[in-house]
Structures are given as structure tokens and as C-alpha cells.
Structure 1
Amino acid sequence: MKLLNIKFAPLNVPLQRRLQTLAMTALIVSHVFGCFISYGLVYYFIFHTKLWWLCSLYLMWCFFIDTDPRKGSNRRSKWIRRWTWWKYVKNYFPVELIKGFEGDLDASRNYLFCYFPHGLLSHGATMAFGSEHAGVDKCFPNHAIYGHTLSFTFSLPFIRELVFGIGGLPSSRECIDYIVGKSGGGNISCLVVGGAEESFYCEAGVHKIVLKKRKGFIKIALRNGCPLVPVYGFGENEIFGQYKFKGGTFMWKFQRFFKRVTGCAFIIVKGRGVFQYSFGILPHRRPITVVVGEPIDVEKTENPTQEQIDNLHQLFEKKLVELFESQKKHYLKEYENAHLEII
């Protein structure tokens, strides 16, 4: 039904789709209002319940005892990763995970998965690697996978436990080094290399990634002798649109200032709503296919030279472009002439 130029959802939408929309709404609300939810719960428990003492102890533990984020890797929980909530979110798009090479990863080694593009909220990476419902345990049965996100997330009481549970850790050098440098192998770190800066290029049909000056992950791989794995989420940029502001305008400057101060991108999104498809903050239903490319072997070099870093960076860039060009005909049928632009 269309009314006042607004396209409403039909009344006979199947129950499964409504549950998917509900699950996605809960996820977006937790993303956008996570800080208010987290500290709102703290306020409620301390000032309006008899559990104030328990909440106070929890806060003391969070901010004075549990201060080493690396220990969060011990709280990765298969139970949380298998929640039905994630299944409904994954099927909302849906998200599919494809292993683009034969055989299994070497169980005795650690790997660094480098995911592109960031999109607005990296839904492809979260659903492919942060839950078990896309089949990550079947694709990589010998490895535990961890995803890295903003350190700010781990200052939010309650929410931090959920993020730890799905395998989340801060995107600091210390935490990535800890995972890919573990003896015995069997671990995967998943890093969205372009970060929030890449969010500004999230738009259907646009495949522009931030990589040219991102070389920190290359140094980490060399120091630990950790193979690099290019990963591309086809469809990640298609689920949201955004309002663009001309360079030099007040809003353009505010976006860059906000990003510089908080580390997050301030984006005015063009999405859909819960009961209509014309506007809102929910992503559009578009398939996201996460393709994992072939690993790039890396020889351990404790003190890599700039030349070694640049050479490996160029090789990674080449392999990422090859992955995109070889797979786009399968997963970007509307944009077959698209090319990967690296800035």
C-alpha cells in the first residue's frame, strides 16, 4: 500500500519475516542507543532496585579489575554465538559465507582476516564471523574466530559482555597481536581495515575502500608471521544509503570533526522503517555474500623494514582486487561493471 508517497509493508507479511525485522530493530537500537541503554540499566539497578550493591560490584569489576581487554577472549561463548536472535538477523538480508579456496586452514597457524568494505555497521562481518548461523564453524572448523571493534564499546556495562561473548575484542594493536601471536595456532582475528572512515563511502554501486595508508595490519602480520586473508562483503554497501554533504559545508566539517573526536562516523542514513519501506534507520533487505579469499603466506620478521611492509601491502592490495574482480559477476549482477577503487 502506498499513501502520501510512503510505501507501507503489506498486512500479510509472513511471521518469519516479521521476526527478522524485530530482531534487526533490536540490533539497530542497541547500536544507536547502546550508551543510553547501558548506563540507563546501571541507573535503574542502582537507584530503583535492591540489587544496587550487586550492580556496584559489577561496575567496580568492569572498571578496576577487568581492565585487560585481551582477557575477553576467554569469554567467547558458543552459546551466545548460537542465539536464535542472530539467526533471524542473518536471515533478514540474508548473509551468506563463502570460502573461496579448497581445503582447510592450517590448524597450527593463526590468521588475520581483513574485511572490506566497512559499510555503515559491518553487518556482513558481524553475522558471518560473530555468530555460528552462517556456517563459519564448518568453513573453518579448526579455528576460533575473533572480531575487532571500537574500544569504546568495552566501556559500556552489560553490552561489553555480549560483545565479548560473540568473540569481540578492541581493534587495538595489543589485542590483535595477542590473538594472532598465540602459540599453537588455531585462532583468527577479523579486522575491518577501512574503519569508520570507510562509512562515508557506503552507497549502493560504490566500491571505494580505505587502504592506501593503512599499513598497521601489515606490520602486525609480519611481526607474527601471520598469513593475511582478503575478505570482501558483496552487498555490504547496498543495504544503506546516506545523505551526502558537499565538501567544505558545515555538515561535512561536523562529520569529520565527530569522526576525529569519537572514532565513529556520524551518518544520516537512508534506510527503511519497521512498517514501511520509504525511510528509517533499518537496513534494506539485500543479500550480503562474504567471500573469504586465499591466504597470503607471511614470513615472520620481528623488525620489518619499510620496504618489506610496502611490498606485502602491494601484494595484499593486488590479491584483494583479484578477489573482487573474480567474484563480482556472481554477487553484484546489477553492478557488473563496478571496479574496486582504493584510496
Structure 2
Amino acid sequence: MSWFSMELFGIKFAPLNVPLERRLQTLAASCWFVILAFGNVYCTIITLYLLLFTRLRWLMVAYLMWIWIDRNTCNRGSRRSHWVRNWKWWHYFRDFFPLRLVKTVDLDPNRNYLFAVYPHGVLSSGAYGSFATDVTGFHANFPGITPYILTLHPHFMTPFLRELPLALGSCSASSESIDYLLGSPGTGRAACLIVGGASEALESKPGTYRIILKRRKGFIRLAIKHGAPLVPVFSFGETDIFDQMDNPEGSWLRWLQKRCQKITGVAPVVPIGRGWFQYSFGLCPRRSPVTTVVGKPLEVKKNPEPTKEEIDAVHQEFTKCLVALFEDNKHKYLKNAENISLEIF
């Protein structure tokens, strides 16, 4: 019997005979969203429950003490696990979209680099798939270089949840952490910073590329301080995997999102994706290819105390490099590329 998809009351349902492999891919992508969006809340509730209502409270107290003792690991290169970075889950996650990593030039493993990654999107799926796992071929493309994706420090202070980013080799997006990765003895490290951050997530809409760069110059200062080449990285398709509720500047929703971001550091995006068994709405990402392109490094002259003029000059040059990377590759990886431009704020 031939099973087919159907539309009912404006909802497009998935076919009943979807292969198990694709169901597992959808499950992997859904779990990733749940972890990113609600992991801190869930783990905090579990911690309070164990502390207040179970006989495991003393074990939980010991674990909290360990978290305090271990609090600087995220600023000291993390403790990656190659086993965790190669979980089968990540293979399903990669194949759901699918995710792809593309290099444009070779990188010298005898140097350290600062990868400036755009855009943030809602999930930063391209960045995480490429730099926090080993399933998109980073080490084959860039032998001798170890990527460290950088994220918000509170993720490393949440019980239980913190163990995942640490095992993935993720580090805090703090200046202390970046100083360690770029300036400590040794080479072959790539600090991967999603420069636009949570604020940029609020600008993510399908078919648009609105990035926050004009007022972001701290990463430029750190690159000059350590003489680390700046590598522009762009994930094409990142903004297509989720839509979100309309939130123009001046709307009540944007006001609420910014207030929440100011308090928590996290932008509460209201995503519109798809469901497990229908394609019209839900919290699961949409199946849409995401291709992360690693561009040519921008060389910077080392200066431990860079001046404002130096920072501004390198920032201007990096902006040109990022725009060139986008324009040179958009026709390869985006539909209707002629109608899409890079908007910089």
C-alpha cells in the first residue's frame, strides 16, 4: 500500500511510512532544541528536587561543591571527550538538516586562530555541528587543529547540563577563556566565537541574514592582543531552519525579549518550526541544509595593548572579509541568492 502525506485544516501531515532512520533524525534534532532551550530550567528543577525531597541530598551537595571547585575548567580549555563528540546522536543530528562543513584554504596547525562565526540563528546548528562534534569532518579538513566552541558561562554552572558542553570541548565565551585558548603555551587551537550572540537570534528569519557586527569589537581586541589570525566563518541556511513570531522593533514582544535577555543573558525566541508528525508548526527545526564555510584568515599584527584606531582598522577589514565570504558563496548554498543580501547592524 502506498502511504502519502495529506493536509487537513491547513496542517500538512507527514506520511505514515517515514523510514525509521528519518524518525531518529527528527528525534535527535528535537532533543537538541529541548536541551538548548529548556536544559537550564529542567536541570535546576531536578537539582532542587534532589536537594529538598530525596535521600540523595548529600550526594547532590557534594556534586554542587564539585561544581564550585571545577568552575574554572570552562576557562581552561574544557575537558573534551572524543567518545561524546562522536555519539551516534550527532550523526542523526547532522543528517537531519543535513549539516556540511566546507573549507576554502588550509590552516597552519602551528598557530592559534579566532574563528568569528555568523549568523547565530536560533540554534547555531551549523556552528555546533561543525565545531562541537566530530561528525562533519573538521579534523579531516583541518588536521592538527582543535576547535573550541564558545558559549555563555551560565551553561557551565548548571548542574548536570554543564557536563555535556564540557565533554564536547566547549568553553566559556569570556575574555579569560579566549585569552587562555589563544595565549597559553601550545598551538593548533581554534576559539570559535558566535559573535552576534543572543541578540542576533532575535533577528533570525528565513531568507534573511541580519547580523550584529558594527558594535562588536571585543573579539578584535583579543585577536590583536595575541596576534591570532581572524577567520570569518558563515553558516549558510542557518536562518532557514526556524521562523519566529513577528517581533519588530517597538513591539511588546521585542521589548519583553530584550528585558529577559538583559536579566538572563538569553534571548527568549518564540520559534516556529515543525512537529514530529506534521510540517506546519512545532518546536522541531525544519529540514533545510546548513553549510558552514570557513574562510581565509585575516592576519593581524600582535599588540598586547591595541589602540582604538588599530581595533577600528582591523574591524573594518574583517567586515570586508566577511561580506566577501558571504557574496562569494551565497549562490552556491542559498536559493534565490540574487535577492538575498547581508545586512550588518
**TM-score, normalised via structure 1 length:** 0.95
Of 80, 83, 101, the match for 1:79? 83
Q: Which residue pairs with 1:39 in the alignment?
A: 44
Please, which of 178, 191, 194 is the counterpart of residue 193 of structure 2? 191
1:163 to 165, 183, 193: 165
Deviation per CA, 1:160-182: give whole Å up to 9, x if none: 01101111111111111111112
Instruction: Report the counterpart of residue 236 of structure 2 in structure 1.
Output: 234
Structure 2 distance, partners of 1:70, 1:152, is 10
Instruction: Tell whether 2:130 aligns with 1:128.
Output: yes
Aligned match of 1:262: 264
Q: Residue 32 of structure 1: CA displacement? A: 2.0
Counterpart residue identity of residue 90, structure 1: R
Shift of 1:26: 1.4
Aligned to 1:211: 213
Aligned position for 2:96: 92
Deviation at 1:336, TM superposition (A): 2.8
Does structure 2 retain, via aligned residues, the 8 Å contact 1:205–1:335?
Answer: no
Change (3 A) 1:311 1:243: same
Distance 2:229 2:222 in 1: 10
Asked if the contact 1:113/1:229 (under 8 Å) is kept, the reply is yes
Preserved contact between residue 113 and residue 230 of structure 1 (Cα < 8 Å): yes
Residues 1:30 and 2:35 are matched in the alignment: yes
> In structure 2, the residue corresponding to 1:75 is in which secondary structure?
coil
CA distance in 2, matches of 1:228, 1:330: 23
Paired with 1:110 and 1:272, the residues of 2 have a C-alpha distance of 40
Residue identity in the other structure for 1:11: L
Aligned match of 1:142: 144
Cross-structure match for 2:70: 66
What SS class does the counterpart of residue 121 from structure 2 fall into? coil
Structure 2 unaligned regions, length at least 5: 1-5
Cα gap change, 1:256/1:71 in structure 2, threshold over 3 Å: closer, same or farther?
A: closer
Alignment partner of 2:302: what SS?
A: coil
Give the secondary structure class of the aligned counterpart of 1:245: coil
- Which of residues 4, 7, 26 in structure 1 aligns to 2:12? 7
Cross-structure match for 2:153: 151
Shift of 1:79: 1.1
Within 5 Å, give how 1:283-322 maps onto structure 2: 283-322=285-324
Mapped to 2, the partners of 1:216 and 1:176 lie a distance apart of: 11
Aligned counterpart for 2:334 among listed residues 321, 332, 335: 332
1:334 Cα deviation after fit = 2.5
Aligned residue for 2:222, secondary structure, equals: helix
Determine if contact 2:75/2:172 at 8 Å carries over to the other structure.
Answer: no
Kindly state the Cα deviation for residue 71 of structure 1 after the two structures are TM-superposed.
Answer: 5.4
CA contact (8 A) 1:70 1:178 kept: no
Separation of aligned partners in 1, 2:197 and 2:249: 20
**In 2, Cα distance between equivalents of 1:74 and 1:244:** 38
Count how many residue pairs are aligned between Structure 1 and Structure 2. Answer: 340
Q: Matches of 1:338 and 1:166 in 2, distance apart?
A: 34
Deviation at 1:326, TM superposition (A): 0.5
For residues 40-81 of structure 1, what are the alpha-carbon distances to aligned partners after superposition, in whole Å with 9 as ceiling and x for unaligned?
Answer: 332454456654433321111112x11214455241111110
Match of 2:109 in 1: 107
**In the alignment, which residue of structure 2 is the partner of 1:243?**
245
Q: CA RMSD of the aligned region, Å?
A: 1.5
Q: Is the 8 A contact 1:69 1:170 kept in 2?
A: no
Aligned position for 2:3: none
Q: Does the residue aligned with 1:164 lie in a helix, a strand or coil? A: helix
CA distance in 1, matches of 2:340, 2:253: 29
Q: For the residues of structure 1 that align with 2:44 and 2:244, how far apart are their CA atoms?
A: 29
Listed as ranges, the gaps of 5+ residues in structure 1 are none
The structure 2 residue matched to 1:225, chosen from 224, 227, 233, is 227
Q: 1:201 aligns with which of 197, 200, 203?
A: 203
Higher mean Cα deviation, 125-134 or 151-160? 151-160
Deviation at 1:260, TM superposition (A): 1.6
Task: Give the Cα–Cα distance (whole angstroms) in 1 for the partners of residues 223 and 156 of structure 2.
Answer: 25
Q: Distance in 1 between matches of 2:127 and 2:64?
A: 30
Q: In the aligned structure 1, how far is the partner of 2:174 from the partner of 2:73?
A: 10
Give identity over the alignment, percent: 46
Cα offsets for 1:219-248 (capped at 9, x unmatched): 000000100000000000011111113433
Q: Following the alignment from structure 1 to structure 2, what is the Cα–Cα distance between the partners of residues 183 and 300?
A: 16
- CA offset digits 1:6-42 (Å, max 9, x no partner): 1111111011100001111211111222123212332
Output the CA distance in 2 between the equivalents of 1:158 and 1:198: 27
Secondary structure of the residue aligned to 1:219 is helix
**TM-score w.r.t. structure 2 length?**
0.94
One-letter amino acid of the structure 2 residue matched with residue 32 of structure 1? A
Out of 41-50 and 304-313, give the one that drifted further: 41-50
Q: Residue 202 of structure 2 aligns to a residue in which SS?
A: helix
